Each structure stands twice: as structure tokens, then as C-alpha cells.
Amino acid sequence: MDRHRRGVCFVVVVTLPLLFSACAKPAPRGTVGGWSYVETKLDAFWWYGTVGVAAAHVRAKGSGVTIAIVDTGILPSHQDIATILPGVATCGTNPSDTSDNTNGHGTQLAGIALGKDPGPDLPTNPIVVTKGVAPAAKLLPIKIDCGLVTADSLVNGVQKAVDNNANVVLIAVGGYPAGNVHSRLGAIVGDEKYKNVLFVVASVWDDTTYTPPAWTQLGNAILVAAMTLANGDEVPFNDKRGAIWAPGRDIDTADIKYLSDPPITVPLINAPFSMQGTSPASAIVAGCAALIKERQGGWSGGDIKNALTTKAVTKPGLPTSGRLDCNAAVP
């Protein structure tokens, strides 16, 4: 999980061709660690074919499945998300305000997990911003970050996600607050009432110095590590470890910024942003879990986790566990 800020392309023209020309540059990139390959740029959607999303879409696109993203909310009426349900904010003063107008992290996760494929679907727009894993799924935005994540906002947010019938709950916070948070989360994840929910967790633990908490090892929780490509080989993106690996470098998605600032006479088009770390990796896994849930609605969270992990492919450069193969995992 890597938090970051993003830039915006300012233009003064209002004609559509000039707008695209002026902004035809690489998406702003999230910050990364000191790894030798980080200065090499990967194609925006290199990960899409690596984990077999297009092939899996022949069988499922997430229809009838709800993904809750427990994070910074969602940009209201986002053009790249087909269905945004009324969400809940467990921070701030307005529980119905799930807007993500200043941070962007939750919106970026949503673009990866369930953004339109491709998006936006404007016929005059040559810029593909999202290629979501589960574009037909419904988004339940749970806002827990209004500038600071507290134990109460996080735990209450996860509880609201399951209370509102989420099938997949994505948790990609950069650090866990004090306040007995792990035992409280364990009580929710381990509750028999929620055995049909899969909790997808972005790893912030290296499994050596910092051991993952017990709740992330439960049968209906899956801890996600990030991988990338270096000289054609699959290698870890950082030192975080998990039960499954997924792409975590140069993962393009939609941002809360636009290609231009209003007022302008053409439709507002979201700017692309390049995510890095276990956050985008976990969003990819959450989207694939939604595809599995569509195909096997009666499966428990543990059943979905088992499909993801047993169908994952082992790679010589990735220590332990396997790398997500979404096509193989979707029945």
C-alpha cells in the first residue's frame, strides 16, 4: 500500500482534439521504494493480460456482486464506475458523505477493481483510463479516512460494509491505528455470520520483522502482496508478503483529477493515475473475487480464497505462495 498525490494537466483551449493532445503524457505515478527497477515504466495495463482478466470476462464481469472499498470514499458520480451504491462514512460529521474530493486513493482502487472496461466510454475520447476487473459489480463506498484513520473509523467501516451486504470487502490502509484494532477486526472477520464474505487485505507486513495479525490469516481473509516485472522476470515489488501475489507497479486507473479544470465546453474526463504497491494489487484480487462470486454465488469467502490461491501460479522469482491467475480461478 502506497499513498501518494497526483498532478493535473491544465489547458486553456476548449476544442476536444487539442485537449487530448495537450494532455497526452504519462499518468502521474505514485511514490515507490528504493528498488532497482522503479525507473523503468511498464505499459499502463500490462497487468491485465498477465492475470488473464480478458479471458475471465468471457464467463463473468461481476454482475450481482457488491464490492465494498473501505478507504477514502469515491468521487461522486464517477464516470468510470457503472453502479455506485449509497455508502457510509465512519469519519467526519456526515455519515452519508462518502465523497473522495481531496485524497483519491479510494477512487483509484475503485477504478482498478470495478472500473469500466475500458473507461470512460466516451466515443470521442481516445484515452483509456480504466480496465476494471469486475466492471459489472456494484461499488459500496465506505469512507474511513477524513484525513486520519482511527481505530473506530476503520473497525466501524468494516462493520458497515458487512452490514450493507458486501460480498467482497477491500481493506488497503497504509498503517493500522492503535486501539486494539486487530482483535476488533478479528471479531468481525471471524464471525460466522460473515463467512460468505471475502475480506481482501493489502499487505503492510513483511512476515519477518512484522508478522501479519491473526485475522488476516483466517479462512475468509486473503492477504495480498505485490509483484512486478524486471527484465522479463516476475519479482516482488517490495518486502511485503501475503497469501497471493498480484501486479503492483504502474497500475493505471482513474483519478479524482480531470484532464482539464472546469469551466470547459467538452465533457469532463478523469485523468489517469499510476498506482504502486500492495493497494492496487489487492484491488485486482478483489475484482477477481467478484468474478468468482458471480459464477458461484453460494460459495463462502473461504471457498473463493481457496479458488484464488490454489489456481495461482508459482514463479521462481516470487518467494512462497503464488501469483494470481484470474482466468484459472474463475469457474
Query: What's the pLDDT tens digit per position in 66-123?
Result: 999 999 999 998 888 999 999 999 999 999 999 999 999 999 999 999 999 987 655 6
pLDDT of residue 266: 58
pLDDT of residue 14: 33
CB distance 30 to 2 below 8 Å: yes
210 occurs within a structural domain:
yes
3: helix, coil or strand? Answer: coil
Instruction: Indicate the number of domains in the chain.
Output: 1
Taking the whole predicted model, whether its pTM rises above 0.85 is answered as yes
14 occurs within a structural domain:
no
Which parts of the chain register pLDDT below 50?
A: 2-24
29 occurs within a structural domain:
no
56 occurs within a structural domain:
no
175 occurs within a structural domain:
yes
287 occurs within a structural domain:
yes
36 occurs within a structural domain:
no
Q: What residue numbers bound the domain in which 131 lies?
A: 61-321
E-only strand ranges, the chain: 66-71, 83-84, 88-89, 138-143, 168-171, 198-202, 221-230, 233-236, 244-247, 251-258, 270-275, 322-323
Residues present in the chain in total: 331
CATH number at residue 132: 3.40.50.200
71 occurs within a structural domain:
yes
Listed in sequence order, the DSSP H helices in the chain are 16-22, 46-50, 53-57, 105-114, 151-163, 181-189, 278-295, 301-310, 326-329
CB under 8 Å to 156, separation ≥6 — which residues? 90, 144
pLDDT of residue 33: 58
